[in-house]
Amino acid sequence: MTVKAGDYHWHVERSGSGPVCLLLHGTGASAHSWRPLMPLLAAHYTTLAIDLPGHARTGLIGNDDLSLSGMAAAIIRFLDTQVRSPVIGIGHSAGAAILAEIALTRPDCLMRMISINGAMVPFAGVAGLIFSPLARLGAGSSLLTGLFARRLRNRDLVGRLLKNTGSVIDSEQIQSYEALCQDPAHVKGALTMMAHWRLEELYPRLPLLELPVHLIAGSRDRMIPPRHAHQLAARLGDVHLDIANDLGHLAHEERPSLVADLVLSTCATGPETVDPVHPPTTSGSLQHAR
């Protein structure tokens, strides 16, 4: 469905009933990435998965502010008009960074934050020096944006990009990513978001987070190394860390049942619980840390 909130017409996928879980995807993805997980959470919660500004069906309006703070502000306006109560935030990759910015800006918006392979540690070395400038170059040129989109029509290239996540996902999810990659407007939105990403401004403020944080990291993630999760855990106060063995960057698409067990288990310790939730039975696939 489409809802108007703030400056955007948001694409929202909703299911379930009960306390609200807000699901934020990562850069270049869309709400489709949550479809394997949502039915497992919907038995206990109202799940709201949105397309981020500039992505898929929540399109760019003009010179949108797709910085970390700008996207957080847009989602706060969405929550103020559509939910009006604290939510459980579940964010994948860059979506986790947006949740952290929301929690720091408006602590009343979130009761709990769950990060799946969260991208909250600044890029180091050469990658940190070239990542944003290259994205700015691409986002600022319609010619280059179109070139990127045409290049991404090559299914083999999309397949290689997905393989580089360290995850293996099903054909339906792959087709959804292929469709996104063939949309020049979506490619432009993703590049614009990347061009304005400044984790250096978020990272020093993370110790100020006052809500419970659950970090889930895939041991085979080739995009956000698991050591970043350990680094984050050392900086946060009320934190729990799970390393999911043999899963990559798209862990929630790869093994939704395992991720659902982890999410429901951690939420069972808080006041937002709807039904009793048993601890996950797949502990042999996990490493726990605090």
pTM for the whole thing? 0.87
Residue 91 tokens, joined: 């964010």
Q: Are strands 46-50 and 110-116 parallel, antiparallel or unpaired?
A: unpaired
The answer to whether residue 268 scores a pLDDT higher than 90 is no
The answer to whether residue 35 scores a pLDDT higher than 80 is yes
Q: Hey, what's the torsion of the CAs at 49, 102, 234, 223, to 10 degrees?
A: 50
What is the Cα–Cα distance from 79 to 82, expressed in whole angstroms? 5
- Confidence band, pLDDT 50/70/90 cuts, at residue 145: low
- Confidence band, pLDDT 50/70/90 cuts, at residue 143: very low
E strands in the chain: 2-5, 8-15, 20-24, 46-50, 87-92, 110-116, 213-218, 239-244, 286-289
Q: What is the pLDDT of residue 188?
A: 85
The answer to whether residue 276 scores a pLDDT higher than 70 is no
The answer to whether residue 128 scores a pLDDT higher than 50 is no
**Among 99-108, 212-221, 262-271, 278-287, the least confident range:** 278-287
Higher pLDDT, 73 or 146: 73
Residues 152-208 pLDDT 10s: 667 787 888 899 999 999 999 999 999 998 888 898 888 888 888 889 999 999 999
| Domains, the chain, with CATH or none | 2-124+198-289 (3.40.50.1820)
Q: Are strands 46-50 and 20-24 parallel, antiparallel or unpaired?
A: parallel
Higher pLDDT, 84 or 276: 84
Q: What is the pLDDT of residue 84?
A: 84
